[in-house]
Structure 1
Amino acid sequence: MTYFFLIYLLCGILGVICETQEYHFNVSYVDKNPDGLHERRVIGINGQWPPPTIRVRKHDRVVIHVTNLLEDQNTSLHFHGLFQKGSNAMDGPEMVTQCPIPPGATFLYNFTVDDQAGTYWYHSHSGAQYGDGLRGLFIIDDDKPLPFKYDEDVTLTLSDWYHNENRAIMRSFLNKYNPTGAEPIPQSALFNDSKNVEWQIAPDSTYFLRIVNIGLFVSQYVYIEGHNFTIVEVDGVLVEPQETDSLYIAVAQRVGVLVHTKKHAEENFRFVNALDEEMLDFVPEDLELVSTNWVVYDKDKKMPAPLKNDFSKTVAKINPFDDYELKPLRNDSLYNDPDYEISLNFTMQNLGDGVSYALFNGKKYVPPKVPTLLTVFDSGEYANHNIIYGSNTNSFILQKDEIVQIVLNNMDPGKHPFHLHGHVFQLISRSEAGEDDDSPILFDPSNKDHVQYPEKPLLRDTVMVNPNGFIVLRFKADNPGVWLFHCHLDWHLEQGLAITLIEAPSEIQSSQSVIENHFETCKLANVSSKGNAAGHYGSSAQWFDLTGENVQPEPLPESFTMKGYIAFVICTLFAFYGIYSIYHYGMEDVKTDTNKAVIQKLHSILEKYGTLDENEETSLVSLNSIHDRTSH
């Protein structure tokens, strides 16, 4: 609370208006049909969906009372991109800075917006829950005029959309019948949580368009036919203006652009958003990759016909600007050589339960039994000992004001946007995509091309690493707290693709606190708020005892490769189907079916006779995915 007092004292000295913005959010289910194809249960706020936009000014105090009215699951809120200086307990990821909010409980988020302005968003940080709709924009208006002029400030959200709820999808995704780790394919792409949107504009006007990808998985291309964008902001950081004909926006990224309209209202134009087909393992025939919306100058004039659903032809017409080339408007030069380097090799591997997991240096993130921040507060002199935070939390301890460098080698053929909580980082090196899955491009400090760092690097909080490539990031550890660094493809986060940065633990203990409401929430959630990652405390021996902690499954038996596992699963499926066929039909000829039909029949047979466990009940999609991958 001392921190809040100092902020308001400073506001008084500087003559800045600091207000308190208070919200009461009742989180509950609402039935909606945003893509016009399927009505489903979504998660709204105060009985409404989409959730409201939070709009405050720099230095405002924000108070949000979140009441969980979901009768069957926990929840939480994370304020994406906000530094939460002095208020790490309000960052939001469950089992990192707080306990989950159980049904019926009310959790208090109470923080002051620090020296930040720009485009941010908020979302649930409980599993992949925000894919069910619990997400909205968080706009911070500056107390000074922006360095560019515009007539109107407009927000736009992009997202992929699934017709099933995230928990049902997850049972199929993290399943031994999906040994390749094939990501769930969305059913739609949304544009402002809708489809076929018409944006009414005025001629000869300039719009400041804030675009946020609030999806779970797929990046999107965006462009307006006959118009250009001028990029002026990325992830809350103002940049030197850069003109481009289109944008490529990964999930969790934000881009602010200026759009200047035509002088005369002579025709209307398409506003196109397209899912990145390269990120999908397969494309269902009914998935609309290319979506057409409209910029409307004159309602009485004809609208251009929707584009054909031809991804390759659509993206061939545009040339998105590479964000690596953007320069921050503020004069931040390249940080000095790092005091501490974290080297991360990312791989996808099957563990002993047959499930495909995402690993950093051979380990998946597994949540501890006690939220890591509460372990920091409770551990006293042991806070600087890495072991107390668990063997499967991928924890790294940083000291105050260190220059930290993260080297991330993506040894996977997929694109991955990585997000750092509590900071913006400098993107100082990024490779192109590697062409060979067996020989990814690894960062090599002796390679001159890898260390040609820009003098004034891009600053942002979410960045894409190319397939089989690398990124190198630098930031200053000037914000004491417990911060996640993770892939923002939430399917991959659920697979374990995260590390925990415990920044300046002694300073956390001396300068921050946790309010009583948070401890009450832990009690209601039946989660321990005291001790190490395993819930032990007391003597030094007890603090260093991790007996009973949450850990990842054992590895596969030696020489048991993923390809071998896939072959084993498929052979087992056909063996079961063959046994059933013999039993059911005697020695009659069995009708010839496609492999896919056999798998579908097998699923229904096993389900009928009760041989599927709880985690296999929704495995049909994964079985079909195995067929689709192996049939090639």
Structure 2
Amino acid sequence: MPFLNRLFIWLGAAVVFALQCQAKTVTYDFNVTWVNANPDGLYERKVVGINGQWPLPVIEVEKGDRLVVNMYNGLGDKSTSIHFHGMYHFNTTDMDGPSMVTQCPVAPGQSITYDFMVNQNGTYWYHCHTDNCYPDGYRQALIVHDKDAYFNDMYDEEHVITISDWYHDLMEDIEPHFITLANPTGAEPVPNSFLFNDTTGLNIPVEPGKTYLLRLINIGAFVAQYFYIEDHTFRIVEIDGIYTEPAEADILYISAAQRYSILVTMKNSTDKNYPIVTVADSVLLDLISPDLQLNQTNWLEYNHDAAHPEAVMTVDVCSDLNPFDDITLVPHDKLPLYTNPDHKLEFTVTMDNLNDGAGYSFLNDISYVRPKVPTLYSVMSSGSLASNSTIYGEYTHPVILEENEIVEIVLNNADTGSHPFHLHGHVFQLVERYPSYGPTFYDHATGDPVAYDASNASTLPDYPARRDTFVVPPQGYFVIRFKADNPGVWLFHCHIDWHLTQGLAMTFIEAPTLIQERVKIPQQHYDICAAAGVAHEGNAAGNTADFLDLTGQNEQLPWLPAGFTAKGIVAMVFSVVSAFLGMGFITMYGISDLKKGGQGQDGSSSDENGAEY
């Protein structure tokens, strides 16, 4: 039997080697610098460009290719990284990209190479994963073409479409006013506009009778959007890289980070052009200025010379737009439901204040705080202690998973806002969600939160839909399952970038001893740590002498004293501000009186420069 085991290992290695020899290498060289752009035609600002250009290049590879991206950070004033959203990174978790999770931030003037095999297919994207960097424009599509996709003979051409929210101010100027005493409710900054392929008013030329594959990606930082095409229906064939059985639909709800591929067949006429309509989910916005245009019109252009009508929008998003429910999709491969979970986890999303008075996000009362050593590097340097969650720090919210465990996550949402949760390194099965899409999705948030109750669970699907980003409804819940078959360090977090900044994240350390065996971090990545002044060995506190000693770790701030509320903080702030303003006016009045009647020792009146009044 040992001989047979070795034989199987040798054969497997030979197959992998043969496949790698057949694969081609696709290389991109990225010089990341600031450039200027005015995508909405309303305001020119500096954005993160690549090779002096913006919008950024679309990364395109074929399933089975080796992807190499050489990135030089030429920003001058910002550290950065690249996360390849939706890539599994089997045995290359070190190429995943989130700073202080699987790598150190890449400091200005430094270079990093991402190098990994792409043994998957579908629609993805890439973006910066260091601080608040991707809303400044550092995000774009990543497409993995598949010559064996079952729907290849069902369409004639394809188009990649990105939708996003857009801010006129730099993130470095917005963020300091977000997590602050002056914003105790944690109200998210409202975008200034919404983009469609990084512009507005776009025409997509089409021909009558043809069928097009449209790859839709929400690369925004915050706002989900509804998508539909006037007088057209379509068939969904992919979500987040997973092929689905064709499903007829006429409207989609696409949260930040979600992707859909749809087949749209054109009409047999060139009499008119048809609006492609995107509508921002205004329920997510605390304040909507009168000049913020929530709906955008772009066009399927059948006839360049025909009219390009604006979409007529008189709908109430909460009641009139009823999108297709993604949980009902059936994967084309018919992967059965994972049964009898080995590891059951239950978390509750809350938003609350800490003792600085600012608003933060929590999973089971833990707000993620990044460690002093990237979590993956703690795995690699901790030896036999790698399976002890203590070493990763309390506030990275670490959970150790064993190889091939079936993991079930119940996510209860005690917040009145929705949250799109993304899991790195995996897709997960969509087991259950309450409430479903449609008018009740938000109407439910007028009552008390409803937590998952296994005794009242609905009938589970035989072949549940799978994706890597799933929305938990306001005051509702979802249940997901995945197989821990990918050793690595993987974040689970809300993909609303503001909520990630507030701490809505946790860390899965999956099969840590196998990570040590299989992952080989390049020396260049360690050099990047040295250049950034970040330790690459030790526990979350940077302690290499005693990995169980977390003294000095980065910590969550203490809780507010009992009895304080957000409203109370606001009242206190305004009271204090009013008091200071009042004292200021009294002081100014007093000084004014002195200036009018006061005299110096020589009997004259003057200002600080000696000018006489």
Aligned to 1:252: 257
With over 3 angstroms needed to count, the CA separation of the structure-2 counterparts of 1:436 and 1:285, relative to structure 1, is closer
Give the Å deviation of 1:17: 3.8
SS of the residue 2:394 aligns to: coil
Contact 1:369 1:533 in 2 (8 A): yes
Aligned to 1:489: 496
Please tell me whether residue 127 in structure 1 is matched to residue 136 in structure 2: no
SS of the residue 1:82 aligns to: coil
Please tell me whether residue 228 in structure 1 is matched to residue 237 in structure 2: no
Alignment of 1:57-136 (within 5 A): 57-114=62-119, 116-136=120-140
- The one of 544, 549, 574 equivalent to 1:545 is 549
What amino acid does structure 1 have at the position aligned with 2:576?
Answer: T
What amino acid does structure 2 have at the position aligned with 1:461?
Answer: D
With over 3 angstroms needed to count, the CA separation of the structure-2 counterparts of 1:556 and 1:222, relative to structure 1, is same
Aligned to 1:608: none
Please tell me whether residue 536 in structure 1 is matched to residue 556 in structure 2: no
Aligned to 2:49: 44
What is the CA–CA distance in structure 2 between the aligned matches of 1:415 and 1:191, rounded to whole Å? 23
Give the Å deviation of 1:46: 0.6
Aligned to 2:610: none
TM-score norm. by structure 2 comes to 0.91
Aligned to 1:568: 572
Aligned to 1:613: none
Contact 1:346 1:410 in 2 (8 A): yes
With over 3 angstroms needed to count, the CA separation of the structure-2 counterparts of 1:228 and 1:438, relative to structure 1, is closer
Contact 1:11 1:17 in 2 (8 A): no
Contact 1:338 1:402 in 2 (8 A): yes
Give the Å deviation of 1:13: 4.5
Q: Deviations over 1:99-121 (max 9, x none)?
A: 0000000011011112x100000
Larger radius of gyration: 2
Give the Å deviation of 1:302: 1.7
Aligned to 1:151: 156
Please tell me whether residue 374 in structure 1 is matched to residue 377 in structure 2: yes
What is the CA–CA distance in structure 1 between the aligned matches of 2:16 and 2:352, rounded to whole Å? 52
Contact 1:290 1:311 in 2 (8 A): no
What is the CA–CA distance in structure 1 between the aligned matches of 2:297 and 2:78, rounded to whole Å? 36
SS of the residue 1:43 aligns to: strand
- The one of 206, 215, 221 equivalent to 1:201 is 206
Give the Å deviation of 1:563: 2.2
Contact 1:363 1:392 in 2 (8 A): yes
Give the Å deviation of 1:307: 3.4
Aligned to 2:452: 443
Contact 1:8 1:18 in 2 (8 A): no
Aligned to 1:593: none
- The one of 465, 471, 480 equivalent to 2:472 is 465
Q: Deviations over 1:136-189 (max 9, x none)?
A: 111111142433511001100000000001121111101110001000000001
Range that drifts further, 435-444 or 322-331: 435-444
Range that drifts further, 277-286 or 31-40: 277-286
Q: Deviations over 1:420-455 (max 9, x none)?
A: 0000000101011473567201011121xx242111
Give the Å deviation of 1:22: 1.0
Contact 1:486 1:498 in 2 (8 A): yes
What amino acid does structure 1 have at the position aligned with 2:568?
Answer: G
The answer for unaligned runs of 5 or more in structure 1 is: 589-632
What is the CA–CA distance in structure 2 between the aligned matches of 1:424 and 1:327, rounded to whole Å? 14
What is the CA–CA distance in structure 2 between the aligned matches of 1:40 and 1:242, rounded to whole Å? 41
What is the CA–CA distance in structure 1 between the aligned matches of 2:390 and 2:447, rounded to whole Å? 34
Range that drifts further, 551-560 or 83-92: 551-560
Give the Å deviation of 1:319: 3.0
What amino acid does structure 2 have at the position aligned with 1:471?
Answer: F
Contact 1:431 1:471 in 2 (8 A): yes
| % same residue | 47
- The one of 517, 523, 539 equivalent to 1:516 is 523
What is the CA–CA distance in structure 2 between the aligned matches of 1:153 and 1:490, rounded to whole Å? 29
Give the Å deviation of 1:299: 1.1
Give the Å deviation of 1:562: 2.1
- The one of 351, 354, 364 equivalent to 2:357 is 354
What is the CA–CA distance in structure 2 between the aligned matches of 1:146 and 1:29, rounded to whole Å? 41
SS of the residue 2:574 aligns to: helix
Contact 1:274 1:311 in 2 (8 A): no
Count, aligned residues = 576
What is the CA–CA distance in structure 2 between the aligned matches of 1:200 and 1:418, rounded to whole Å? 34
Q: Deviations over 1:580-628 (max 9, x none)?
A: 222224599xxxxxxxxxxxxxxxxxxxxxxxxxxxxxxxxxxxxxxxx
What is the CA–CA distance in structure 2 between the aligned matches of 1:227 and 1:551, rounded to whole Å? 52
Contact 1:7 1:59 in 2 (8 A): no
- The one of 423, 426, 435 equivalent to 1:423 is 426
With over 3 angstroms needed to count, the CA separation of the structure-2 counterparts of 1:502 and 1:409, relative to structure 1, is same
Give the Å deviation of 1:190: 0.3
Contact 1:411 1:437 in 2 (8 A): no
Please tell me whether residue 527 in structure 1 is matched to residue 534 in structure 2: yes
Give the Å deviation of 1:12: 6.9
SS of the residue 2:455 aligns to: coil
The answer for unaligned runs of 5 or more in structure 2 is: 1-9, 436-440, 593-613
Contact 2:315 2:321 in 1 (8 A): no
What is the CA–CA distance in structure 2 between the aligned matches of 1:110 and 1:146, rounded to whole Å? 28
SS of the residue 1:454 aligns to: coil
Contact 1:83 1:422 in 2 (8 A): yes
Aligned to 2:582: 578
What is the CA–CA distance in structure 1 between the aligned matches of 2:560 and 2:65, rounded to whole Å? 52
What is the CA–CA distance in structure 1 between the aligned matches of 2:31 and 2:16, rounded to whole Å? 31
Please tell me whether residue 160 in structure 1 is matched to residue 169 in structure 2: no
What is the CA–CA distance in structure 1 between the aligned matches of 2:17 and 2:418, rounded to whole Å? 47
Aligned to 2:329: 326
Aligned to 1:623: none
Contact 1:412 1:437 in 2 (8 A): no
What amino acid does structure 2 have at the position aligned with 1:179?
Answer: P
With over 3 angstroms needed to count, the CA separation of the structure-2 counterparts of 1:172 and 1:163, relative to structure 1, is same
Q: Deviations over 1:512-570 (max 9, x none)?
A: 110100000000000000000001113xxx11000111001111112222222121112
Give the Å deviation of 1:336: 1.2
Aligned to 2:604: none
- The one of 369, 374, 396 equivalent to 2:399 is 396
Question: RMSD between aligned alpha carbons?
Answer: 1.9
What is the CA–CA distance in structure 2 between the aligned matches of 1:261 and 1:554, rounded to whole Å? 58
Aligned to 1:272: 277
Contact 1:229 1:257 in 2 (8 A): yes
